[in-house]
């Protein structure tokens, strides 16, 4: 006889239900919090029934909330299945809108006995888990840094609008500019300082000779003398600007540290050299691709990878009309989709200047001639890039 323990996952708690393949319910749907004592209680109940060898633990991948029970049951040598919640959602949708945690447990149990929940046995190497955790933290820092930079630019425009003219091409976010504005956060403060003091601040950041920055210091002071900021030098926004420069510097250091850790770890994986050999993809992009796609050879074909990234086209039918090339589903890993899109854009941009025979650039031009939008062309290039990556990894080869 076979048994299944189904968990309907929620934040910090789950509904547990234990049943056998002949319909016998050994544990009615019961809610337990995710803590050590409750997990051990469930474990003891299973040992008393002596059914562990024939038991499967089933749960949906629900954000991060399934991680605790998954870890417990795996560490105690249970056969655990964690499946995509879209499977449960699509199959359990009915006309009757009855949804409770108990009903969900029963529906998931029925799905398992019907064989609708795939029993994929994939043991992920720890290196891919660590890479994925670093990747998500990298994206979190990057998103936070973008928000802080936007606010920094607003405050800069209030305190010294002409500062952007002194540090062009986004160099207002460089360490030299940040340290400068941290010490001299207002045009009137700069106006009162000597040129040597301004130049010394910039030279001190980079360890260069003061004479190198005297010309730039003169330019900054000239702008400051004619500047009329939106706030006085005693405004709280001046203090806010100083604090924000500290935050941006700190987050930038953290981001660089995570980036270096990720690259070092990714180099230990078996497909790093295959992916980094692709024209236009650097070490960071390679690390992010591996962190999100993990061991790409575990997929049976390219279509599975496209679906996991949400790059598979939706199929829309109305009567006899069927559109097989609808918009992408966007139901998969958005981080993987983002890095593949960015890589495609980089490859197309660089190839336009120095390698117009690049297959991805040729594919981009083909889609462009078909009248597709720029973003649609790059999305199509992302699927082309996946095919190239998959072929290289399967054959364990590099791009010439």
Q: Distance from first CA to last CA of the chain, Å, rounded?
A: 56
Q: Is the pLDDT reported for residue 95 higher than 50? A: no
For residues 19 and 71, the answer to whether their CB atoms sit within 8 Å is no
Mean pLDDT of 207-213: 86
Helices 374-395, 334-354: crossing angle, 10 deg rounding: 100
Q: With helix as H, strand as E and coil as C, how does 332-380 read?
A: CCHHHHHHHHHHHHHHHHHHHHHCCCCHHHHHHHHHHHCCCCHHHHHHH
Q: Convert the pLDDT of each residue in 306-360 to its tens digit.
A: 988 988 887 665 555 555 566 788 888 899 999 999 999 999 999 999 888 999 9
Closest Cα to residue 284, out of 329, 339, 331, 327? Answer: 339
pLDDT score for 321: 53
pLDDT score for 259: 97
For residues 156 and 181, the answer to whether their CB atoms sit within 8 Å is yes
Give the contacts of 83 (CB within 8 A, at least 6 positions apart).
58, 59, 60, 61, 117, 118
Give the contacts of 351 (CB within 8 A, at least 6 positions apart).
279, 280, 358, 360, 361
Tell me which of 1.25.50.10, 1.20.1050.10, 1.10.287.4070, 2.30.110.20 is the CATH number of domain 130-264: 1.10.287.4070
> Same topology for domains 3-114 and 130-264, yes or no?
no
pLDDT score for 315: 66
Q: Is the pLDDT reported for residue 42 higher than 60? A: yes
Burial of 357 by CB count in 10 Å (0-12 exposed, 13-18 middle, 19+ buried)? exposed
Domain layout of the chain by residue ranges:
3-114, 130-264, 272-317+328-395
Q: Which two tokens stand for residue 1?
A: 């006889």
3-10 and 13-20 beta bridge pairing: antiparallel
pLDDT score for 318: 57
pLDDT score for 90: 54
pLDDT score for 68: 94
pLDDT score for 98: 52
Return the CATH number of the domain spanning residue range 3-114: 3.30.420.140
How many beta carbons lie within 10 A of that of residue 373, not counting itself? Answer: 10
């Amino acid at each position: 006889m076979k048994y299944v323990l189904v968990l309907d996952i929620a934040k910090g708690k789950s509904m547990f239900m234990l049943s056998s393949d002949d319909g016998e319910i050994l544990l009615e749907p019961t809610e337990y919090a995710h803590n050590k004592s409750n997990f051990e209680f469930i474990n003891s109940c299973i040992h008393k029934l002596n059914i562990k060898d024939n038991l499967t633990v089933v749960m949906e991948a629900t954000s991060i909330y399934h991680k605790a029970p998954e870890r417990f049951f795996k560490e105690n040598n249970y056969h655990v299945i964690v499946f995509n919640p879209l499977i449960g959602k699509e199959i359990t949708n009915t006309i009757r809108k009855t949804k409770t945690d108990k009903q969900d447990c029963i529906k998931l149990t029925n799905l398992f006995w019907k064989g609708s929940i795939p029993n994929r046995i994939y043991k992920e190497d720890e290196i891919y888990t660590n890479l994925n955790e670093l990747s998500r933290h990298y994206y979190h820092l990057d998103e936070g840094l973008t928000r802080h930079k936007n606010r920094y630019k607003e405050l800069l425009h209030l305190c010294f609008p002409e500062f952007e003219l002194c540090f062009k091409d986004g160099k207002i976010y460089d360490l030299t500019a940040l340290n400068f504005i941290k010490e001299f956060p207002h045009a009137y403060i700069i106006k009162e300082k000597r040129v040597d003091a301004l130049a010394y601040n910039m030279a001190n950041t980079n360890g260069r000779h003061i004479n190198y920055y005297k010309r730039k210091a003169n330019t900054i002071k000239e702008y400051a003398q004619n500047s009329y900021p939106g706030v006085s030098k005693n405004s709280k926004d001046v203090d806010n600007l100083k604090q924000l420069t500290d935050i941006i510097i700190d987050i930038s250091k953290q981001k660089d540290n995570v980036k270096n850790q990720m690259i070092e770890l990714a180099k230990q994986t078996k497909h790093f050299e295959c992916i980094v050999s692709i024209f236009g993809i650097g070490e960071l992009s390679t690390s992010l691709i591996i962190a999100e796609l993990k061991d790409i050879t575990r997929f049976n074909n390219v279509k599975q990878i496209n679906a996991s990234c949400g790059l598979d086209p939706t199929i829309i039918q109305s009567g006899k009309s069927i559109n097989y090339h609808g918009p992408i589903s966007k139901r998969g890993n958005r981080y993987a989709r983002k890095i593949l899109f960015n890589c495609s854009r980089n490859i197309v941009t660089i190839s336009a200047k120095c390698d117009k025979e690049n297959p991805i650039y040729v594919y981009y031009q083909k889609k462009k001639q078909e009248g597709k939008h720029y973003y649609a062309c790059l999305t199509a290039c992302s699927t082309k890039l996946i095919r190239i990556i998959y072929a290289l990894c399967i054959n364990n080869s590099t791009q010439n």
